[in-house]
Structure formats: C-alpha cells, structure tokens
Amino acid sequence: MSWGTQAALLLTPYLAGTLLLLLVPALLTLALAFTGYDTLTPPVWRGLQNFVTLARDVRVGQAFQNTLIYVALAVPLRVAAALALALWLQGRRPGAGWVRAAVYVPSVVPPVAYALAGLWLLNPLYGPVNLALGALGLPAPAWLAEAGPARVAVALLAVFQIGEGFVVLLAARRGLSPEVLAAATVDGAGAWATFRYIVRPLLQPWLVLLTLRDVALSFQNAFAAAYLMTGGGPYYATLFLPLLAHEEAFGGFRYGEAAALMLAALVTAAALIAVFWALWRGWGGAEEW
C-alpha cells in the first residue's frame, strides 16, 4: 500500500464522523427550515412560511439582539484576556507555571458546575461578589435579576473559561524567533513598541483564528449560561438564539421553526469560514503548518 492509501485508511473514521455529525445535520437543518415538523408526523413542505412566522415573533428580534450583544461583549474580552495573560505568563520566571495552571483551572470545570458556582458568586444578597462590593462601599447590582447586569454577568463569566485560547497564544508567542525580539530591543524598542510593531503583527493570524473560533463557540457558551442560570430571563434579556430554538423544538414541537432559527448559526459559520478561507489563501495555505 502507498502512503496515500494508508493515510486514507486512517482518515476514514474522522471523515465519516464529520460527514455524519456535522455535514449531514447541517444539510438537514437547511431542509427542515422549510418544513413543518413535530417529530410524530412526517415533515410537511411549507416554503418560506416559517420565516414569516418568525419575523412576526417579537422574541426572535430580541434573541438576535441579545446574541449580538453577547458576542460583542464576550469575544473581544476573551481574546484580549487570553492574549494579555499569554504574553505576561510566557516567561520562565519562578512560579509562572503555577499561575498558568491556575488560569486554566476554570476551563476544566464542567458547564453545570460552573453555572452553579456562577449563580452562587453572583447571588445579589449573599454572593461573594456583592459581599465584596458591599465591603468596599461600592454599589452592588442585582446581577442575574436585572436585564442589563444579567447580560454583562453572563458575558463576564465566560471570560474566565479561556484556557484553550490562552494555551494557543502561549504556544504562538513561544514560537516567535528570539532573534527578532532581541533585535528590536537592540534598536531601542520598549515593551510597548515591541508589542505593537512586532509581537502583535506576528501573532495576527492566531488572533484572527481565535476570534473566529470564539464567535462560533459563543453559541454553545451562551446556551449553557442561559439554560443553566437564567432561563433566558429576566424579561428575555438573556434569551439567546440557541435557547429560543431549543424552546421552539422541545417546548412546542416546532422543529421547522427551530431549524429556521438555527440557520442563523449556520450562516454565521459560513461567514466565519469564508473569512478564514480568504485569509488562509493570503497566508499561502500556511506553509509552516
């Protein structure tokens, strides 16, 4: 057998699994979006009816708005935090290894346990966050019980689970050539100038990739937070698209409408992949990979 045949053999489960679990479901979502389906009777063709129904539902506009706010808050904060921590902790100073491990710890906490910890941390009356704010004489919002603070709280909780991006940027920073950085110092560049003109441009591909990946992850993170902590409330302030789709499908047996809602996530994915593809070709297929 040639290398190619051997490789094809070992790739079979990965490619078959991808087909079964991602590509076929994506096409099925697209098809279901144009039907009425309650899982008990076969799907009925509806054309664009689902989209008309959804356009009339006030919750849909609200869910789009909430999801956009979540992405706009959580993604930049998560990428910036991962970058700042990776650059600060990349050195071999004594104790740095322990701090790196500490930064990773919240990322291994299972979603259900993390949501419980979040509910307790942010409890308006006796949660540690408000007790600490009270002790400092600062105003303490009712967090998950008020629309505005609930939106912020849900996004802020996601900022601590950045292990993956942190590790990727740590590796990317360590991969930079020490000579280039030393040359910058010799030329008299300070820490900020080195970051601005050398480190950040060299890390740019990784930052772009992480940002795209984070937008995709936002759908899961937002669902976990809303389903486990807020139930979409208060006053629909944390009703995100995947939660609304879940309610349509499992609360109302309206799978067609739910699939039509999830098309928004698939269109987002298509846009992210298009951006990635344009950049990938610009990088010449990323030879160094």
Alpha-carbon distance of 119 to 230, in angstroms, equals 9
Q: Which residues contact 227 (CB under 8 A, 6 or more apart)?
A: 243, 246
Instruction: Give the shortest CB-177-to-other proteins separation in angstroms.
Output: 15
Tally of residues, the chain: 289
Instruction: Give the shortest CB-58-to-other proteins separation in angstroms.
Output: 22
Both structure tokens of 42 = 């076969």
Instruction: Give the shortest CB-32-to-other proteins separation in angstroms.
Output: 7
Cβ closest to other proteins, residue 47 vs residue 95:
95
Instruction: Give the shortest CB-245-to-other proteins separation in angstroms.
Output: 7
Cis bond before residue 234 (omega within 30° of 0): yes
Instruction: Give the shortest CB-188-to-other proteins separation in angstroms.
Output: 19
Instruction: Give the shortest CB-86-to-other proteins separation in angstroms.
Output: 10
Alpha-carbon distance of 80 to 75, in angstroms, equals 8
Cβ closest to other proteins, residue 237 vs residue 258:
258
CA 261 remoteness from chain centre: 18
Cβ closest to other proteins, residue 10 vs residue 186:
10
Dihedral of CA atoms 22, 28, 33, 36 in degrees, nearest 10, equals -140
DSSP string across 218-253: HHHHHHHHIIIIITT-STTTT--HHHHHHIIIIIH-
Q: Collapsing DSSP states into helix, strand and coil, what is residue 185?
A: helix
Cβ closest to other proteins, residue 74 vs residue 265:
265
CB 225 within 8 A of CB 157: yes
Pick from 166, 272, 287: nearest CA to 209:
272
Cβ closest to other proteins, residue 108 vs residue 138:
108
Cβ closest to other proteins, residue 191 vs residue 197:
191
